[in-house]
Every structure is written in structure tokens, then in C-alpha cells.
Amino acid sequence: MMSYRSSVSPSGNIDARQAKLSEVLRDPSTQWEEQVIPWYGQGRRRMQWCSGTSWWHRAKQPPLPIRWVLIRDPEGKQEPKALVSTDQHVSPLTIILTFMLRWSIETTFEQTRAHLGFQTQRQWSDTAIERSTPLL
């Protein structure tokens, strides 16, 4: 597992600039783990990942400690993905598998919209409210 330098320490002191995840992705010295994982309802796929801890910066907010995970397809069929968790103690594999669990939820929403005509229920007029999707 890799750990990159933070730009701000927990005490708030500025350290060296942290590497951008796009730089980590291109860096030939990045050490990748490899694992077969469930992939978007398409069965199991061999993927590579690396992980580290860092700080998430927002204007006028204290830095937030995070764990990041980069996933890449060694065959190059899938775009690389960056996942982030505010729990630095959770394992990178748990972050990946939790993200993949979203697949069934995402497809349920997609199918509901496509086949049952559901959309977001933001009605701004009386007419829109009257034609609102009834409860099933």
C-alpha cells in the first residue's frame, strides 16, 4: 500500500505538495495490488488497485483525512476510477467492494425510470403535482 505526502499535516502545518491521483496513475513506480473482484454485474474481473491516505481540502474548512483508492483495468477495457473514503481505517478492498454494491441500486433506478416512467419528483406547479406518479 502506498502513502503519499500530505500538503497539510494534522496540526495544520503545510508540508510538501501531495501527488495528484492522475500523477499516481501515470507514475511507473506506483505499486499496484491485483485482485479478482465483482465488476458492475458483469461477473468477476481481474483489476489492479493502489491506495494511500491524504487530506481533502475545502475553502474555509479544516482539512479532512481521507483514504483514496485508484482502480485500473490491466487489460485497458475500463477507465481508471478514483474512490475516496473519509474512514482512513477501512481497507482499500472494502472501499472497492462497497462501491461495486451500488450497481444493483443504480440499475434499479434506471429500470424504474425506463419501464415505469418514474422521474425525479420535483414539482413546481399545481398541474405537475396533479399528474404526479401515484404510490404503488
Reading the chain (136 residues) residue by residue, the pLDDT tens digits are 344 444 445 555 555 677 888 999 999 999 999 999 887 777 888 999 999 998 888 888 898 899 999 999 999 988 999 999 999 999 999 999 888 877 667 677 777 777 666 666 565 666 666 665 555 5
Q: What domain count does the chain have?
A: 1
Host H or E run for residue 70: strand 64-72
Structural domain that includes position 97: 21-103
pTM: 0.66
In-domain check, residue 46: yes
136 lies in a domain?
A: no
- Beta-carbon-side half-sphere exposure of residue 99 (alpha carbons within 13 Å): 18
